[in-house]
Amino acid sequence: MTGKRILMGNEAIAFGAMKAGLQIASGYPGTPSSEVMETIISHAKKYGIYAEWATNEKVALETAVGAAYSGANTIVTMKQVGLNVASDPLMSLSYIGIKGSLVILVSDDPGPHSSQTEQDTRAFGHFSNIPVLDPSTPQEAYDMTKLAFKLSHELETPVILRTTTRVSHGCEDVLIEDIDPVTRDIEGFVKDTRWTIFPKLTAQRHPLLEELQVKMSDHFSEYFNDNTFNSITKGSSRIGIAASGVSALYAKEAIKEHSDVFSFFKSGTAYPFPEKAALKFMKGLNDLIVVEELDPYMEEQFLQIAGKYHLNINIHGKKNGSFPVSGEYDVDVVTDSINRALENIGSEDAESAAASIRLSHSVAAVKPEDIPALPIRAPTLCAGCMHRTVFYAFKKTAAKLKKQVGIDSVFSGDIGCYTLGNALPLNMVDTCLCMGAGISVAAGLSHTPEFMQGEKAKQVAFIGDSTFFHSGIAAVVSAVYNNADITIAVLDNRTTAMTGHQPHPGIGLTAMGSPAQMIDIAEVLKSCGVGMVKTIETDDLDKCMDIAAEAMEFEGPSAVVFKGKCVAICKATGQYVVDEEKCTNCKLCINQLGCPAIFSISSGIPVIQDTCSGCGLCAQICPSGAIVLKEA
């Protein structure tokens, strides 16, 4: 039913896609993008949509491309680092184009809150010659999603819908419309030489691609004239402010007491940049303040326009030090940055009344000393997480190996919950680059002893089950082929835990809940030629240590699949408590495990909280047998 609903930005995007006639959706989970697919999946059967979680972003995009070649309306979802994985097909796709419609939802993560990078997808769109829409609010995200499908179909090109964390996860009342179940009347694939990219076709298509950029820029300027996505308001001074995405909201909040003074340009079309609209806005201004998170993308566009049309205008942004060049913005950051820009303007133009304005924060400033200190809660593995058992087993095994034969160990990590194994007291992640890289990095290190004064070290690579399917298999094949002396520890908790517990090929269920062939990780490792492959449950520490030692002593590639439960989705099996009469207060359980369920106050004996999930690891390492199961 048409009406307003309180929606998260990601939910609004999903509803916008479904309203636009979405037929096929594919993606790989990654915060802050995951809820788009989750919402589509929850409504897929109702509206006749096919949705799937792919093994990685490259596969997800290629799957959506195949469907679009048949004329389907498709969407693919990922976060900004996922776009790196999908960049290979993306770059070629811009030359080929599509037949149906293809929207690529990419969520950037300024901050970053849960990512390896702060990269800016707007620049990626420019690089790949693919149009980029940049919503500021959940309502705009809904409306722009519908527009993205329309533009993709009209221009026969994929369209990137770029959001940031605060748009993806922000909530507001969103006006949505009735959604009709989709029809399956897809035209179907028609054989054509345009779908096969060879050097000759690339040479033929490249001029057309460049013509399309001009066409899109003109199209955007005409389409968005007097449109809320790209809007211009005139102020009484010769100072303008330009902003995009959620930064536009911050800027409007910062200047709300002086909104009649500044001209304001809000852009929702990041690429191609709306040059005609921007030029119209810039004429008559002496100074322009550009507000944007991450890269100085808009700032560079305005600088190019100023140079191209010989405009006498000063542009203030990241490049002249007015705004931070990295990190997430908020109203306070934007307020302070605009004030810095105004100070620069004031020193250059003493006669400008607007330049003498100083914006104030929306709330009274609070002195740091008046703020009570908050407890420090460093990221850590959950209480009872199976990964802690595996890390502890390898730590003890490595220490024993060092003592017996003098061989050090290097532990290469990966992206996932188990990245938190780097925290003290475990301290078991020596390298972490990107998804699937742990195995490849370990293999590279295994070939370098002669470059390290001949000191040989045992290389251990940790990788999760979902990441194994995402990008670990190719790394395994390469390690075996090149005879890398490494041990691979697959941490299999049967879910994609860090991004919201999505299914993967090792579970036996699809995204839509249908039964599927369960891919056995151990069998995959064997088929890749790994010399030693073992599988073990993580509930017995001694057995885990024994098999870790066996794998580390094996010459050549070895692997152990450690199976356990994700405590975030499985019920606790009991709770352990400390027997005060037996406890010697050695604090081994605290100092070696770092389990958040165990703590002590001052010199008191350890206390186990009710967040304990009953994994029993602490009981297994207690030298005095003081940690026991609580009686029912």
Residues comprising the binding site for [4Fe-4S] cluster? 583, 586, 589, 595, 612, 615, 618, 622
How wide is the angle at C-alpha 164 spanned by C-alphas 254 and 268, nearest 5°?
Answer: 70
CA 282 to chain centre: 35
CA 180 to chain centre: 31
Cα dihedral angle (360, 361, 365, 368), rounded to 10 degrees? -120
Tell me which residue of 119, 100, 101 sits closest to 109, measured CA to CA: 119
Cα dihedral angle (471, 472, 478, 479), rounded to 10 degrees? 150
Q: How many CA atoms lie within 13 A of 458 on its CB side?
A: 27
Q: Which residues are annotated as a binding site?
A: 583, 586, 589, 595, 612, 615, 618, 622
Please tell me what DSSP assigns to residue 233.
E
**Token match 């307003």: residue?**
4
Instruction: At 174, give phi and psi (nearest 5°).
Output: -120, 130
**Token match 């916008």: residue?**
16
CA 389 to chain centre: 27
Distance, CA of 182 to CA of 255 (rounded, Å): 44
Residue 414, amino acid: D
Tell me which residue of 36, 32, 18, 26 sits closest to 57, measured CA to CA: 26
Token pair belonging to 483 = 């005879």
Instruction: Evaluate whether 224 touches 150 at the Cβ level (below 8 Å).
Output: no
Instruction: Evaluate whether 163 touches 31 at the Cβ level (below 8 Å).
Output: no
Is 110 in a helix, a strand, or coil? coil
Strands (E), 221-332: 231-233, 239-244, 263-267, 269-271, 287-291, 314-316
Instruction: Evaluate whether 126 touches 94 at the Cβ level (below 8 Å).
Output: no
Instruction: Evaluate whether 443 touches 477 at the Cβ level (below 8 Å).
Output: no
Distance, CA of 505 to CA of 515 (rounded, Å): 11
Strands 269-271 and 132-133 come out as: antiparallel
List, in sequence order, every residue forming a beta bridge with 576; answer none if it has no partner.
629
Distance, CA of 136 to CA of 229 (rounded, Å): 9
**Preceding amide of 89 cis, omega within 30:** no
Token pair belonging to 285 = 């201004």
Instruction: At 485, give phi and psi (nearest 5°).
Output: -85, 85
Is 314 in a helix, a strand, or coil? strand
DSSP string, 558-615: EEEEEE---TTTS-----EEE-TTT-----HHHHHH--TTEE--TTSPPEE-TT----
Burial class (CB in 10 A: 0-12, 13-18, 19+), 86: buried
Distance, CA of 369 to CA of 31 (rounded, Å): 34
